[in-house]
Amino acid sequence: GAGVSQSPSNKVTEKGKDVELRCDPISGHTALYWYRQSLGQGLEFLIYFQGNSAPDKSGLPSDRFSAERTGGSVSTLTIQRTQQEDSAVYLCASSYFSSSIQYFGAGTRLSVL
C-alpha cells in the first residue's frame, strides 16, 4: 500500500504562531514516531506512540511541543508559539510493531521567520 504520508511538505510561519503537522502512517502499523532533523543537531527523536499505550514524550524539547494520535492512526504534531530555532525538517515514521524496521515519510520542512 501507500507509504507514510506527511503534510504539508513545506510550511512557512511567523514567529509566535502555532503550527500543526500531520502524519498518516502505513495502514496496520501500530508504532508511530516523530523525529526532527536540523543542521546543527542531526536527527533527534521527539515522541513515540505504540498502540493504546501512553506515548513516550521524552524527546520533546519544550512544553510548546505536543502530539496526539487519533484512533491509533493519524498523528498531529503541534508547535505553539513557534520560535526561529524550531526551523527544521520534521519526519514521521511508522513500523508494524515496535523495534522493527521504521518507514519514514518525506518530512515537513518548517521555516519560522
Q: Rule CB under 8 A: which residues touch another protein?
A: 4, 31, 33, 35, 42-45, 48, 50, 56, 58-59, 91, 93, 98-107
For the bound state, the minimum distance from the C-beta of residue 50 to another protein, rounded and expressed in Å, comes to 7
Residue number with CB closer to another protein (2 or 101): 101
Residue number with CB closer to another protein (8 or 16): 8
Residue number with CB closer to another protein (9 or 83): 9
For the bound state, the minimum distance from the C-beta of residue 58 to another protein, rounded and expressed in Å, comes to 8
Question: Which of 24, 65, 29, 25 lies closest to 44 in space, CA to CA?
Answer: 65
d(CA 67, CA 61): 12
Distances in Å between the Cα of 107 and the Cα atoms of 11, 51, 52, 54 are: 11, 22, 24, 24
For the bound state, the minimum distance from the C-beta of residue 17 to another protein, rounded and expressed in Å, comes to 24
For the bound state, the minimum distance from the C-beta of residue 11 to another protein, rounded and expressed in Å, comes to 15
The one-letter amino acid code at 42 reads: G
d(CA 98, CA 54): 14
Residue number with CB closer to another protein (59 or 72): 59
Count other Cβ atoms within 10 Å, centred on residue 101: 7
Grid cell 515514521 — which residue? 93
